[in-house]
Amino acid sequence: MTQSIPQLPELLPCPFCGSADIYAMDMGGWESFCKTCGTNGPALNTEKDKVIADWNTRAAQPMGVAGIPPGMALVPIEPTTEMLTAGSHAVDLHSHSPRGTWAAMVAAAKGE
Ligand SMILES: [Zn+2]
């Protein structure tokens, strides 16, 4: 009796729309694309395996809420009272470190 082993999909779901309808095709160079939303790339390559690895690397870093990439945050142009308060406290605690002040202000904007 043979036992079937579940196979992982060759291409991970689309990081933009979540579709699993993803293909890698040779169109004068291999390229991955999402049949649902039309996203392609990230780049043409002569090697199918490289194209799949590139897509899956991109897919492993999905966009956040409202298309905000990892490591970025949506903050108001004008700081809120909470952001200014958090920034003021951070300046006091971190001896005028701009990085610490900014981190505290962004955290306040995110409601953390
Ligand atoms: Zn898609």
Are residues 49 and 77 both part of a single domain? no
Ligand 1 center to 105 CA (angstroms): 34
Of the listed ranges 4-8, 23-27, 41-45, the least confidently predicted one is 4-8
pLDDT for residue 21 = 92
What pLDDT sits at residue 45? 86
56 and 83 assigned to the same domain: no
User: Three-state secondary structure along 8-59?
Assistant: CCCCCCCCCCCCCCEEEEECCCEEEEECCCCCECCCCECCHHHHHHHHHHHH
Residue 38: per-residue pLDDT: 86
Task: Please give the distance, rounded to the nearest whole angstrom, from the Cα atom of residue 103 to the centre of ligand 1.
Answer: 32
Q: Is residue 5 part of a domain?
A: no
In this predicted structure, what is the pLDDT of residue 102?
A: 84
Distance 53 CA to ligand 1 centre (A): 17
Residue 4: the pLDDT is 56
Report how far ligand 1's centroid is from the alpha carbon of 14 (Å).
Answer: 5
List pLDDT tens digits, range 79-90.
999 989 988 888
Q: How far is the CA of 46 from the centre of ligand 1 (A)?
A: 23
Separation of CA 4 and ligand 1 centre (Å): 29
Asked if 85 and 52 sit in the same domain, the reply is no
- C-beta separation of 25 from 31 below 8 A: yes
Whole-angstrom distance, CA of residue 12 vs CA of residue 4: 21
Does any domain span residue 88? yes
